Chain A
Amino acid sequence: MTAAPDHTPTMSRAGLAERLGPYIPVLLIPAIMAFGLIFIPSMSSWLTLTVSGLAMGMMIFIMASGMTLVFGLMDVINFGHGVFISVGAFVGISILLVLGHMTEAPSLALNLAAILAAVLAAMAATGVLGWAFERVIVKPVYGAHLKQILVTMGGLIVVEQLIIVLWGPEEIYILRPEALRGAITFAGAAMEKYRLLAVGIGAVLFLVMRYTLRRTKIGLIVRAGVENGEMVEALGYRLRLVFVGVFIAGSALAGLGGVMWGLYQEVITAHMGQQIMILIFIVVIIGGLGSVEGCFIGALLVGLLQNYIAFLEPKLALISNIGLMVAILMWRPQGMIPVVKAK
């Protein structure tokens, strides 16, 4: 018997670029921050801009996450998503105006309680509206993209006009609660308290969402549904119910985002949802339709880039987002983190 020939197997190591590939989208965020650091002359203004960019990105993420999940799960493209933002903002801000004594008080606890009440009311209202919207507008047109786009756009117009009927056509101005006005100074940079709060809320929400999607059973069903809906149904899960749930949750999140955006801008109009929708579309496209992580990264990129460019060259800020989108689509035509569909 001859001995087996000597043989030492070696794994061929993937090249650096190949190993880095999946992380490039994540790495883009520090890359953009570094870009800002190089071009923005003073450290303190860079810090201020970064915080406001992150705040803006987090708010956009909150509003966009529902839409991207709804698309991933059921292939439903909801052009009326923006209306939940407007409705959320109007309901929330109305509550805040009613609770004027609480928002005017200098105590942080009372202020936060008022905001919490407003947010809960807004989320409840937009959740119910989302349920109705799904029932009346979206359900009859499953599977037909063209009709979905047209019908949801029609729904957007109708609800927007109803807001004007109920609240009047004028814009509503609102002041932030007492304890959240002004800024704190850190390392010479002024950072608005409200923006820090927005960053905090956004980060917590992202982590909660990620946890839900990755670690819980319902998250497992949702992720499986995104990948292969028919299979999940064949295994006995009622994907329709899951979808309605996700739609409602997404609408409620849009309502939350609406309240936060309203307090950020300190003015709300019935058309605000439609205006933000444009940013949301850009974020959802560059993130990869259906991907929550991609949406998060895309939102932060858009927020940071817009703030940096607005500081460096205000006229360019208008088209910076479009430029970002074009660049990313040239690099990855399906978006940064394309959703794999098993078909």
Chain B
Amino acid sequence: MIVKLLSGDTPRSPVLAVILLAILVALAFAPFLFPGVRSVDTAARICIFIVLVASYDLMLGYGGIVSFAHTMFFGMGAYGVALASTHMGRGFDAVAVGALSGALLAAAIAFLIGLFSLRVRAIFFAMITLAVASAVAVLVSQLSGLTGGEDGLSFQTPRALTPAFRFGDELFGVRLNGRLLAYYLIFGVSLILFLLMLRVVNSPFGRVLQAIRENDFRAEAIGYRVVGYRVTVTCLSAFIAALAGALYAIWLRYVGPDTVLSFDIMVDILLMVVIGGMGTMYGAVIGAALLVLAQNYLQALMGMAAGAVAGLPVLPELMNADRWLLWLGVLFVLSIYFFPTGIVGRLRQRRQGRAAQGR
């Protein structure tokens, strides 16, 4: 049953299985295990980023395509929900319409960009997505009449998802309000999307993608339409990324260029994919959990480090809490050199190494 749910792609490493199980349990019972606004917020962010990063991995790790427009797709879903909720009034219908139209728009744009660039060279895709994503980000901040410009949009989610909605007293000391429902909505949708992606990568379609990633020329020679497969995976990835964006908008009840469209999120996604492990869906889980936790707590740690080296030249500046991107960048470069398969790859490799020795 479990193997079937995971589409036959088991963790294949006891350590990995334990870590994944721990993350799953922690996320499933987050509001009860870690009560408090901030920790539940962190848990929700982890859920959303797992989906976002896994959808990016679909493109990068399985399709071998680098895109810099993933935040654009993410933002389309988020803005879709925000605009629909503003213009149609609060309600689940508005959320559904917004999320779906955002996701369809994202898939359509991915289709267009894919047709233009993947037809020629896969690296064109990286450059063109970068250009298009930045143009869209500027456009969103310029069209302030529609999108609220730099200030973004605050909107109301369905009443059942707000803290004001109560459906009972307390359970294990946790208030049963709409916020709890919102968390479980996000958790449930994220879990379904994740299992769906696991299904996709373990299907024959996913196998062909892996073949293309390893050697596109050969895949073409065997008779697969490389461009068709690449464009399809790009659209699928954009669609799911937009759904993740919709979840994020539902959780935050606010969208703005800095929160859903900025290039920093793109950098985060890249880091999560690479550190977790490219080409494995589980890498997305570990990368997202690790990085979101690190972001929330690393800055405090760096502040302490800066305090410790105060008085020395330059060092306090390097340890400044605002400079955490510097250290993440260094980590990123190092992990591409030394751990190209990421944490998941390492764990699986160790297991395989041991099995080989035992034989």
B144 → chain A closest CB, angstroms: 12
Give A150-184 interface residues, CB cut-off 8 Å to B: 150-151, 153-155, 157-158, 161-162, 164-165, 169
Partner of A334, one of B120, B122, B340: B120
Interface size on A, residues (CB 8 A): 41
Judge if B167 is at the interface, Cβ distance under 8 Å: no
For B191, what are the chain A residues with a Cβ–Cβ distance below 8 Å? none
Given contacts A147-B340, A161-B323, contact A154 B119 (CB under 8 A): no
A161 → chain B closest CB, angstroms: 4
Q: Is there contact, CB below 8 Å, between A318 and B131?
A: no
Q: Is there contact, CB below 8 Å, between A150 and B123?
A: no
Q: Is there contact, CB below 8 Å, between B329 and A319?
A: no
Q: Is there contact, CB below 8 Å, between B142 and A315?
A: yes
Judge if A311 is at the interface, Cβ distance under 8 Å: no
Complex: A141 Cα to B128 Cα, angstroms: 22
Q: Is there contact, CB below 8 Å, between A157 and B122?
A: no
Q: Is there contact, CB below 8 Å, between B326 and A158?
A: yes
For B60, what are the chain A residues with a Cβ–Cβ distance below 8 Å? 146
Q: Is there contact, CB below 8 Å, between A145 and B123?
A: yes
Q: Is there contact, CB below 8 Å, between B126 and A149?
A: yes
Q: Is there contact, CB below 8 Å, between A281 and B64?
A: no
For A333, what are the chain B residues with a Cβ–Cβ distance below 8 Å? 119-120
- Chain B residue with Cβ nearest A161: B326
B29 → chain A closest CB, angstroms: 35
Given contacts A161-B329, A315-B142, contact A150 B270 (CB under 8 A): yes
Chain A interface mostly:
helix
Q: Is there contact, CB below 8 Å, between B274 and A150?
A: yes
Judge if B336 is at the interface, Cβ distance under 8 Å: yes
Partner of B322, one of A169, A326, A330: A169
Q: Is there contact, CB below 8 Å, between A322 and B135?
A: yes
B292 → chain A closest CB, angstroms: 18
Partner of B130, one of A164, A281, A315, A334: A281
Give A264-304 interface residues, CB cut-off 8 Å to B: 274-275, 277-278, 281-282, 284-285, 289
Partner of B337, one of A140, A157, A326: A140
Given contacts A147-B336, A321-B131, contact A157 B126 (CB under 8 A): no
Given A158-B329, A158-B330, 12 more contacts at CB 8 Å?
A: A147-B336, A149-B66, A151-B337, A155-B329, A165-B314, A278-B135, A281-B127, A282-B127, A282-B131, A289-B121, A329-B120, A330-B116
Interface residues of A (CB under 8 A from B): 77, 79, 137, 140-141, 145-147, 149-151, 153-155, 157-158, 161-162, 164-165, 169, 274-275, 277-278, 281-282, 284-285, 289, 315, 318-319, 321-322, 325-326, 329-330, 333-334
List 12 A-B pairs, Cβ < 8 Å.
Answer: A79-B126, A146-B60, A147-B336, A150-B66, A150-B274, A151-B337, A154-B332, A154-B336, A157-B267, A164-B323, A277-B130, A318-B139
